[in-house]
Structure 1
Amino acid sequence: MTKIISHEGLEDFQALVDGIRPLTQDKQHFGTPVKSRSELNEQAPKLAVSHYFSDTFQPLLPSDGPMRWRADHADNLVLKRLRRGDYVPDLILDLHGMRQTEAKLELAALIEAAIRESSQCVSVMHGYGTGVLKQQLPLWLAQHPKVLAFHQAPKEWGGDAALLILVDLGEAPFRR
């Protein structure tokens, strides 16, 4: 629908806008700043930790005997092989004296390093201490999609103060 404006209204409008200049663009964009590669590399483990490890998730873990867990898609004999010490850990992580947040970061970094270096078995020493890491570590490991299984380590790898972890390497050939 078109509306016809009288000459008198047009002259009034022309008088109102006379002398007005258009605004110039100052070219300041307020989007998210581009991060450098070093900043992204620093934040990657933190994002992985927040993505994989939740403190509220409670998987079904055994209450009797040694600490152990196996993913649903893992072979039934995996836990037996871990218990007997058939797997030798290629990487060892010592969490003694760390806080939970530091331990989460280190655990995520260990799993990523194991995948990068094709290490099927790794060991994490949590120690005895107050028992906080000993309780939390299995809960975190059961959440990670690349963890096939874990079992309390044999005596030569730390006993009940450590866990042996079997990492899913995907299509890479397995070593024993």
Structure 2
Amino acid sequence: MKKSPNNDDLDSFASLFKDVKRVKSDKYLPPQIHKRKKVDTLAEKKRLLSSKRHAASFEFSDGFEAHFEANTAMSFSRDFESKNKVKALRRGEFVPELILDLHGLNRQDAKLELAAVIQEAFDKHHECINIIHGVSGGVLKQNVPSWLVQHPYVIGFHQAPLEWGGKGALLVIIQTRQDEKPF
């Protein structure tokens, strides 16, 4: 049976710790990652889909197929200037600010989601996003890199490290408004 402390015990305990000060935490807190919310109802899904079609005015072509080397990590950089950003991406210097999981989507829905998340990242000035397409040799794993190459806001991408999906995901660098080149 527990004894409850009496007032003398509490006073002596408090007097022992009267000079103690709270220590500020020295632990590193990683930046918050904004994960896209799941849509539950069919009506909400249709409304969201129509708004995404409107927001993502860019459409990907299925006729274009980019060529990537077979036994290397999936990687792309738009130009010579962006190679350094892709190298930094490969080294893990970027943390994705948005995550898009394409599991369970068909090709058409995946294209709409991809265009919408790229547009959202551009509008909100997010420089890095994580696209999870899955590890199987399915349609999305083959098509997502070709779609990303087509989009003008995509500066480059690289296969994600294991903590962000490994062979089943890509980390993508998105052009921010300050990256835009004047005419």
TM range (shorter): 0.5 to 0.7
Matched residue, 1:100: 107
Asked if 1 retains the 8 angstrom alpha-carbon contact of 2:157 and 2:173, the reply is yes
Secondary structure of the corresponding residue to residue 96 of structure 1: coil
2:177 pairs with one of 167, 170, 176: 170
Cα offset, 1:64, TM superposition: 2.7
Matched residue, 2:8: none
Q: Percent identity?
A: 43
Secondary structure of the corresponding residue to residue 152 of structure 2: coil
> How far apart, in 2, do the equivalents of 1:75 and 1:47 lie?
24
Cα offset, 1:132, TM superposition: 1.0
> How far apart, in 2, do the equivalents of 1:42 and 1:154 lie?
29
> How far apart, in 1, do the equivalents of 2:167 and 2:111 lie?
20
Query: What is the RMSD of the two structures over their aligned residues, measured on CA atoms?
Result: 2.2
Structure 2 length normalisation: TM-score? Answer: 0.66
Quick check: 164-173 or 124-133, which moved more? 164-173
Cα offset, 1:46, TM superposition: 6.2
Answer with 1 or 2: which has the greater Rg: 1
1:109 aligns with 2:116: yes
Matched residue, 2:97: 90
> How far apart, in 2, do the equivalents of 1:54 and 1:93 lie?
20
Structure 1 unaligned spans of 5+: 1-39
Asked if 1 retains the 8 angstrom alpha-carbon contact of 2:154 and 2:172, the reply is yes
1:48 aligns with 2:58: yes
Secondary structure of the corresponding residue to residue 167 of structure 2: helix
After the TM superposition, which parts of structure 1 deviate over 4 Å for at least 4 consecutive aligned residues? 40-43
Asked if 2 retains the 8 angstrom alpha-carbon contact of 1:62 and 1:68, the reply is no
- 1:86 aligned partner, one-letter code: E
Matched residue, 2:41: none
1:136 aligns with 2:140: no
- 2:70 aligned partner, one-letter code: S
Asked if 2 retains the 8 angstrom alpha-carbon contact of 1:74 and 1:148, the reply is no
Cα offset, 1:163, TM superposition: 0.3
> How far apart, in 2, do the equivalents of 1:162 and 1:42 lie?
22
Asked if 2 retains the 8 angstrom alpha-carbon contact of 1:45 and 1:105, the reply is no
Cα offset, 1:78, TM superposition: 1.9
Secondary structure of the corresponding residue to residue 172 of structure 2: strand
